[in-house]
Amino acid sequence: MGVILCKHCMTVIDTIDSEKVTTYYSDCHELECFEKRARQSSQAADSSESSD
């Protein structure tokens, strides 16, 4: 069985009927996943600005 994971949050997006165990990475396109990434990148920007 193959599985498709979101490369950002590791959510299982879909499974594939295959003889080999395969893992594919894609994007889940969930709003929650997108917002989490957006928050993380803005936090990184904030911490570099307010480091004095």
Instruction: Determine if 28 is a binding residue for Zn ion (CB under 5 A).
Output: yes
Instruction: Determine if 33 is a binding residue for Zn ion (CB under 5 A).
Output: yes
Among 2, 3, 5, 8, binds Zn ion (CB under 5 A): 8
Instruction: Determine if 3 is a binding residue for Zn ion (CB under 5 A).
Output: no
Instruction: Select 2 or 9, whichever has its Cβ closest to Zn ion.
Output: 9
Contact between residue 24 and residue 7 where contact means Cβ atoms under 8 Å apart: no
For the residues of the chain, what is the DSSP string, one character each?
A: -EEEEETTT--EEEEE--SS--EEEE----HHHHHHHHHHHHHHHHHHHS--
Q: Which listed range, 17-25, 33-41, 44-52, lies at the site for Zn ion (CB under 5 A)?
A: 33-41
